[in-house]
Amino acid sequence: MKRLSIVLLLTAFGLCSCSSANRRHLGTWNSAGADDKTTVTFAEKKITVQRPDGTTAGQYSIDYGKTPISLDIVTDDNQTYKCIVEFIGDEVFQAVCTERGTLPSDFATAGDVMLFRKQTAKE
C-alpha cells in the first residue's frame, strides 16, 4: 500500500490546480528503483500510475510555492493521497506519499522515498 501511495504521489505531481505556473512535473516518469516498476504520467489535471499489478487514474493538484512541493492526489475511486516532491535537476524527482490525510513534513523522516526519472523519447 505504501508503494501505491508513493506512485500516486508522483502521479499527483501533474496536478492542474497549481499555485504556480511551473509545469516541470508534466510528462511521463519512470521509477528508478530496481525492484519497483512504476510509471507515472502527469497531464493537465490528470494523473495515471502504471504498476505491474494495475493502473490507477485520478486528478491532482500541486503547489510549487511550498517547500517541499506539496502534491494532493484523488484517485477515480476516491482514495486521497498527500505527497511531498523535490526535483533533483530537470530529469529526476523524489516523492513520498501518505494516505493518512496529513502531508509528510520532510524526506528524512517520511519513510518510503521513491525516485523517478523523466522518460525520454527513446523509452
Phi, psi of 84 (to 5 degrees): -120, 145
- Amino acid, single-letter form, for residue 50: Q
**pLDDT (0 to 100) of residue 22:** 84
**pLDDT (0 to 100) of residue 39:** 95
Predicted TM-score (pTM) of this structure: 0.77
Domain extents for the chain?
2-118
Report residues of the chain scoring pLDDT below 50: 1, 9-20
Cβ-count burial 85-115 (b if 16+ within 10 Å, e if not):
bebeeeeebbbbbbeeeebbeeeeebeebbb
**pLDDT (0 to 100) of residue 105:** 82
Enter the C-alpha cell of residue 28: 511521463
Domain covering 2-118: architecture? Beta Barrel (2.40)
Q: How far apart are CA 35 and CA 12, in angstroms?
A: 22
Strands (E), 1-123: 27-31, 39-42, 46-51, 54-63, 69-75, 80-87, 92-98, 114-118
**pLDDT (0 to 100) of residue 103:** 82
Cross-strand bridge partners of residue 53: none
